[in-house]
Structure 1
Amino acid sequence: MPPTGDPLARRYRRLLLAYPRAYRRERGEELLGLLLDGAPAGQTRPSLRETADLIRGGLRCRLGRPASSTVGVWAVLTALICGLFTAALASRVAWETSRPQPDRAEFTAAFAEAFPRHRLGDDVSTARALFVIYGQPLSRESLHSLLLGDGGEYQEGVAAGSAVGPMPTAEAETLATARQRLRNAGWQVYEPTSEVLQTCADPRCDPASQPVETVLVARRGDTVLRATFDDPRTFGSYLGVELQRAAPPAVLPAAVLAGLVGGALAWLVFAWASRRTEDRRRAPVLLGLTLFFWWAPVLLATASLAGHHLDEPHPSWHPLWEWLGQPTLSLFFLVGLAGALILLVTALTPRRDARPLTVSLG
């Protein structure tokens, strides 16, 4: 046995922690002896190549299934999606550090600041929570809607209102005045965007007669203002305004840290389950279905939101869980979760045989 006081032996032992405990118990001393015998005289620490080889070999050994050429890919996909789910959960918790959504007084002051000559209607609505579903805070009664069909209604709360009466100035002048006043008040004003709304499907309709929607977005501190100019003949009001909070600073670091920890833990659990289910032929099929139900919403939502973000300015990005298709497609997540639980239960059941672990150092 190598002397415990040898610094090279201690460092090799630390690197061997990359291997599963059963492998270290069975082959650890033998492997350590081989490494020490092959080390040049006077060497006190492993080379970079040895370090990389030992870590790579240990991680591959943890995955088991030595005949599989794709188990590493499945492990990465599992760790990545679990890390994203963990990051999304942590970001939602970090949202609780935000100030409450704007109240009526704050909304009225912001409206008057940007549109002083326009009359605000009495139907100003305010949010009862940071995030609401159908305008109400999340509750036990709304969980069914959240998880089974109407998850897309779970959104950031907003304070909203609209101008009433005739427009005192032309839209172009109103927009230019609002941009200047907001800049003077310390708002960061983004370039307005316009979109022609197809309200007539008949090919004979004159495109010039279609209503145009123009959106102005600005941000000051943790508050985002969104003003929408519409055709009053179509929408009843020529101007609608929304005010809401941007993501608080704690969201990003919380999501990154939780994502890294969650991904690492998921990789370790995957490796353990992979070794425990080497003799279960249905395990790869069940894993493939689980990952399909978890990844499909991510791909769909990311493709949709990426285009949406490119089309108009976003001083505060959509929450991370929306990029993962949640809770809009939460039924997919729940089916995948059921598959993952079945896999874990399968891994917990005793194996038919206990084959020794083998690995090559490359």
Structure 2
Amino acid sequence: MSLTRHYRRLLLAYPRAYRRERGEEILGLLLDTAPPGRTRPTGREAFDLVRAGLRCRLGRPASRAVVGLALLTALICGLFTASLAARVAWETSRPQPDQAEVAAIFAEAFPGHRLNDDVTTAPALFVFYNQPLRWGSFKAVLLGDGGEYQEGSAYAAAVRPAPTPEAEILAAARQRLRAAGWQVYEPTTEVLFLDVCNPRCVSTSRLVETVLVARQGDTVLRAAVHDSSYNSYLNLEVQRAAPPAVLPAAVLAGLVGGGLAWFVFAWASRRTEGRRGVHPLFGIAFFLWWVPALLSTPSLISHHLDEPHPSWHPLWEWLGQPTCSLLFLVGAACALTVLVVALVPRKDLRPLIVSAG
């Protein structure tokens, strides 16, 4: 019967052991209570069966917190897998701009200004202290320097003296960039204070910096214009924006990773119920994964609101990575230990009965 087939599919939401013990009983009850002529379950029936089946997979029927913990674990694991997929998708990007491209952009935006011959280019899409990430760098990444792993950029500076005042430099650059097809954002101004160490180390230098951001295709430029107290009146930074493949790759991987994490959590929850030492290990993993994300996200939101970002910071930075990569690895070790404990057979393991209503 068509109705029987649909019910059997919905019962797949329950654990296999539970279906073997109670599946036929539940199916018979559903068929007996269904009105004559029905060929498909109602939407409410389908929702109730799936909800109860997924709850049954978690075990621990007396616990109210297990559902929330499962969802939060699936969410953070989904974000981690999305970050990994995003980083892999970044490999579809063009290489970071070379000296010729930087010189061409500088000439287009700032004609009449002299470009310093010392143009610094990035050796990779992502760099660690402006060098490609190598195995020898992992110790530094794990021990506090992970924030130095970031998108590479090409840097250039103009040679003094400035031919026109700072305000005219910005106004002319915005006009030329718009005419050339760039998307130009409103400039932002910030007052910086630099410590200048005289014999008593008490002097402070005030620096006014105005930043102009623009994007054309996959190229982003940031032009910083300084007042006369800085050694260069105009600095230019050029880098690639996130390639189009990053967003769909991250979304797909996040959904798949989060779903798999939920089922693994549910399996481990049933297998470790009543076992000592599991809760502290899971609590440590949960804490070490979530705290960096909760601390990083507000500061990045504020940062994005304060200045224009044609390309958002990579997803892993929102999760506090790789700055807190050591915490992530310790949490991962705790989670893997829980899974190892769950693999050990239990003599008292029985299907947990959870009402389908």
SS of 1:164's equivalent in the other structure is coil
- Is 2:108 aligned against 1:104? no
Normalised by the length of structure 1, the TM-score is 0.94
8 Å contact 1:279–1:351 — kept in the other structure?
A: no
Alignment gaps of 5+ in structure 2:
197-201
Letter paired with 1:34: L
| Cα offsets for 1:234-272 (capped at 9, x unmatched) | x31111100000000000000000000000000000000
Give 1:89 deviation, angstroms. Answer: 0.2
- Cα deviation 1:275-320 (Å, max 9, x = unaligned): 0000113222221211110001101111111000000000000011
Contact 1:83 / 1:261 at 8 angstroms: preserved in 2? yes
Instruction: Quote the residue 1:221 is aligned against.
Output: 217
Matches within 5 A, 1:73-88: 73-88=68-83
Q: Distance in 2 between matches of 1:199 and 1:101?
A: 30
- AA partner of residue 39 (structure 1): A
* Partner Cα separation in structure 1 for residue 36 and residue 160 of structure 2: 90
1:162-187 per-position Cα deviation (integer Å, ceiling 9, x unaligned): 11121110000000000001011110
Q: Provide the residue aligned with 1:45 in structure 2.
A: 40
**Does residue 152 of the first structure (1) align with residue 142 of the second (2)?**
no
Contact 1:152–1:328 at 8 Å: present in 2 too? yes
Instruction: Map 1:201-240 to 2 at 5 A.
Output: 210-233=206-229, 235-240=230-235
Aligned residue number for residue 276 of structure 2: 281
Q: Is the 8 A contact 1:75 1:270 kept in 2?
A: yes
Counting only pairs closer than 5 Å after superposition, residues 241-320 of structure 1 correspond to structure 2 as 241-320=236-315
Name the amino acid aligned to 1:230: H
CA distance in 2, matches of 1:94, 1:147: 24
What's 1:167 paired with?
Answer: 162
Please tell me whether residue 30 in structure 1 is matched to residue 11 in structure 2: no
Q: Superposition RMSD on alpha carbons, in Å?
A: 1.5
> 1:349 is matched with which residue?
344
Classify the secondary structure of the residue corresponding to 1:210.
strand
**Identity of paired residues, percent?**
72
Structure 2 distance, partners of 1:106, 1:15, is: 58
Per the alignment, residue 332 of structure 2 pairs with 337
Note the C-alpha offset of 1:273: 0.1
How many pairs are equivalent? 351
Q: Distance in 2 between matches of 1:125 and 1:303?
A: 32
What is the DSSP-based 3-state SS (H/G/I as helix, E as strand, rest coil) of the residue aligned with 2:158?
strand
- Alignment TM-score, normalising by the size of structure 2: 0.96
Q: Which runs of 5+ in 1 are unaligned?
A: 1-5
Runs of 4+ in 1 over 6 A off after TM superposition: none
Distance in 2 (CA, whole Å) between partners of 1:119 and 1:199 is 26
